[in-house]
Structure 1
Amino acid sequence: MTNPAAIDDVPIGGEGIRLGQFLKFAGILDSGGDVKEAIIDGFVSVNGEVDRRRGRQLQVGDIVTFDGRSVRVCP
């Protein structure tokens, strides 16, 4: 049985990425439309706080959560 509180690491190959891009890159959401809707509706949090900015610049170590799944931005 897996731990639902586990955080997956997603290497981005750099130091920063935008929130909308990261959600697609990490495989959390499939399309840009889904990403936009999820962010605007307040279903995405960054480091435990809801963030409604699709263009928010994420940094290494940030944790993004959507629908009970958490992923950490890694270099």
Structure 2
Amino acid sequence: MKKIEISQEPIELNKLMKFESLVSSGGEANSAIVGGLVKVNGATETRKRKKLMTGDVVEFMQESYEIVLV
């Protein structure tokens, strides 16, 4: 599992995906989320602005990412 370090929480799911280059644009992030391609803590997440906190796990494209506050 890869770790994604954030400097403040919460961070919105679509922004995290864009800033960490999991997708190439915000629009692509929104499409992936609304299309049911993203899971947060094991459950499919369709809210683009889902607030993520330390310890949350995001799954996308067969990869897992744990949110860590630095």
TM-score (norm 1): 0.87
Q: Which amino acid aligns with 2:56?
A: D
Alpha-carbon distance between aligned partners in 2 of 1:14 and 1:32, rounded to the nearest angstrom: 20
- Once residues 71 and 27 of structure 1 are traced to their aligned partners in structure 2, the CA distance between those partners, rounded to angstroms, is 12
CA distance in 1, matches of 2:54, 2:39: 16
Greater C-alpha radius of gyration: 1
For structure 2, list consecutive stretches of 5 or more residues without a partner in the other structure. none
* Unmatched runs of 5 consecutive residues or more in structure 1: 1-6
Q: Provide TM-score, normalisation by structure 2.
A: 0.92
> Which 4+ stretches in 1 moved above 4 angstroms?
none
Question: How many residues align structurally?
Answer: 69
2:22 is the alignment partner of 1:41: no
The Cα RMSD (Å) is 0.8
User: 2:25 — aligned with what?
Assistant: 31
